[in-house]
Amino acid sequence: MSTPAPAAQKVNLRRPDIMEAVQAQVLSHYRSQLVERIRANGHVLASGDLTVKLAKEFGFCYGVERAIDLAYAARKFFPPDKPIYLLGEIIHNPEVNDQIRNMGIQIISPKPTEDELARLQAGDVAIIPAFGTEVATRKRLEEKGCELVDTTCGDVMSVWKRVRQYSKEKVTSIIHGKSWHEETKATSSQARAYGSGHYLVVFTLAETDYVCNYIIHGGNKQEFLEKFKGAYSAGFDPDQHLQAVGVANQTTMLRGETEEVQNRLKAAMIQKYGATTIDEHFRFFDTICGATQDRQDALQKLLREPMNLLIVIGGYNSSNTSHLAEMGEGKLPTYFIKNAAKMESDRLIRHYDQHDKREIETRDWLPSGKITVGVTAGASCPNNLIEDTIRRLFELRGISVQELVATN
């Protein structure tokens, strides 16, 4: 008879002695004195015919900083020979994940395969990333007897709490988000945590309108299920499970779009059931991440100022960064890059086209003469990458790094 694995432990690394030990290492990797100087100088840096305007809010948020701190702390705290595994990416930034990997932390799938799970032994360390993890995955790790370092963002856990409440009330969670994103997968699993809840993920307003029309008029059930394949819970039946819905969201979506999803679903429920019974059929709670909103608000303000182009820095799979790029695209030439090396010359930039989901080239992207360039970065982008980008912009105008620092 096999011996059961010891009970999993949840490791608390937020002790002052551990945190102090890793702060210097974290700062050495990601801090930027130049960015701090620009922030202190009204978020503007100018030299020659180039002015760079940095959004008032940008880069790392508290949740990201906490996740990185905990990953570094895990490596510092546990013995060097103790295996440490990370479920997917700690955050959506390739440079940060490379740093984590270089520290000897092994990155496995967000939802580990059977082969990956077989590698994990009782007592091994498993780091849960900032996006969280699915309920079933966490349970498997606990059954294995792994020591868990949970870096799940507090804003994400607030959404989970709301979705679990919907589930208890037999209200279907309609989640505004990307069904393929780790955070949304983790949130969706919370709707099934009690075995009785259901969920449906909608990504666009067009998908929302389709759901609203089905609520009001009914429709072809098989067509519905095929359209949303992979974006609803097992056993979901649109004829049964759209009678009472609660809206939640991936925390990094555009607030205005989530609010529109809410408004359209509420209007559909009122049309179907009447305003007097709306509370029986509709729930809503604002679960947009505060840092995400702060960065969107800051960019919106920056976009009202005269600028020639916008640079958005961050991982190409970063949801909150992609929305910043989306905001810029509607106003002026916008280039979504993951690092400064993508600005190969003033004649060529390689940047991400999120509509075609590929990196493309644009030539003659940097205008000659007197110009103003806006710069912002997603919540998973460290300040050192922002500095690299700003320095590269000035280098492309023939202004040396030394001169840049000396005159500002």
**Distance between CA atoms of 120 and 116, rounded to whole angstroms?**
7
**Distance between CA atoms of 362 and 350, rounded to whole angstroms?**
6
CATH 1.10.443.10 assigned to 31-61+291-406:
no
Q: Which residues are catalytic?
A: 183
- Cα torsion angle, 204, 206, 209, 214, sign: negative
HEC states along the chain?
A: CCCCCCCCEECCCCCHHHHHHHHHHHHHHHCCHHHHHHHHCCCEEEECCEEEEECCCCCCCHHHHHHHHHHHHHHHHCCCCCCEEEECCCCCCHHHHHHHHHCCCEEECCCCCHHHHHHCCCCCEEEECCCCCCHHHHHHHHHHCCEEEECCCHHHHHHHHHHHHHHHCCCEEEEECCCCCHHHHHHHHHCCCCCCCCEEEECCHHHHHHHHHHHHHCCCHHHHHHHCCCCECCCCCHHHHCCCEEEEECCCCCHHHHHHHHHHHHHHHHHHHCHHHHHHHEEECCCCCHHHHHHHHHHHHHCCCCCCEEEEECCCCCHHHHHHHHHHHCCCCEEEECCHHHECCCCEEEEEECCCCEEEEEECCCCCCCEEEEEEECCCCCHHHHHHHHHHHHHCCCCCHHHHHHCC
Q: What is the pLDDT of residue 306?
A: 96
* Residue among 184, 247, 179 nearest 212 (CA): 247
Angle in degrees, CA 389, 342, 58, rounded to 5: 40
Task: Give Cα 45 to chain centroid, integer Å.
Answer: 28
Listed by start position, the domains of the chain span 31-61+291-406, 63-153, 155-288
**Residues near 20 by beta carbon (within 8 Å), at least 6 away in sequence:** none
Question: What number is the average pLDDT over the span 150-154?
Answer: 93
Q: Name beta bridge partners: 336.
A: 312
User: pLDDT digits over 207-261, tens only?
Assistant: 999 999 999 999 999 999 999 999 999 999 999 999 999 999 998 888 889 999 9
Q: What is the pLDDT of residue 3?
A: 53
User: pLDDT digits over 374-398, tens only?
Assistant: 999 999 999 999 999 999 999 999 9
Tokens of 312: 């958005």
- Cβ 92 vs Cβ 318: under 8 Å: yes
- Cβ 66 vs Cβ 151: under 8 Å: yes
Amino acid at the residue 219: G
Residue 36 has pLDDT above 80, yes or no: yes
Q: Name beta bridge partners: 54.
A: 375
User: CATH class for domain 155-288?
Assistant: alpha beta
Sole residue written with tokens 């930039």 = 349
Question: What number is the average pLDDT over the span 258-266?
Answer: 95
User: pLDDT digits over 41-91, tens only?
Assistant: 999 999 989 999 999 999 998 899 999 999 999 999 999 999 999 999 999
Amino acid at the residue 400: S
- Cβ 318 vs Cβ 380: under 8 Å: yes
Residue 406 has pLDDT above 80, yes or no: no
- Cβ 102 vs Cβ 158: under 8 Å: no
If phi > 0 it is left, if psi is from -120 to 50 it is alpha, else beta; for residue 48 that is left
- Residue 63 dihedral angles phi and psi, to the nearest 5°: -60, -40
Q: What is the pLDDT of residue 1?
A: 45
Q: What is the pLDDT of residue 401?
A: 63
Question: What number is the average pLDDT over the span 359-387?
Answer: 96
Share above pLDDT 90 across residues of the chain, in percent, rounded to a whole number: 81
* Residue among 329, 316, 197, 318 nearest 250 (CA): 318
Residue 105 has pLDDT above 60, yes or no: yes
Q: What is the pLDDT of residue 20?
A: 82
Q: What is the pLDDT of residue 16?
A: 82
Q: What is the CATH number of domain 63-153?
A: 3.40.50.11270
Domains 63-153 and 155-288 share a fold: no
**Distance between CA atoms of 62 and 64, rounded to whole angstroms?**
5
**Distance between CA atoms of 248 and 240, rounded to whole angstroms?**
19
- Cβ 114 vs Cβ 75: under 8 Å: no
Nearest 10 degrees: Cα torsion 161, 167, 172, 178: 40
Residue 24: is it exposed, middle or buried by C-beta count within 10 angstroms (0-12/13-18/19+)? exposed
Residue 127 has pLDDT above 90, yes or no: yes
- Cβ 314 vs Cβ 295: under 8 Å: no
User: pLDDT digits over 155-195, tens only?
Assistant: 999 999 999 999 998 999 999 999 999 999 999 999 988 76
Question: What number is the average pLDDT over the span 303-321?
Answer: 95
Average pLDDT in the chain? 92
Task: Give Cα 285 to chain centroid, integer Å.
Answer: 19
Residue 365 has pLDDT above 80, yes or no: yes
Rg of the chain, C-alpha, whole Å: 23
Q: What is the pLDDT of residue 128?
A: 96
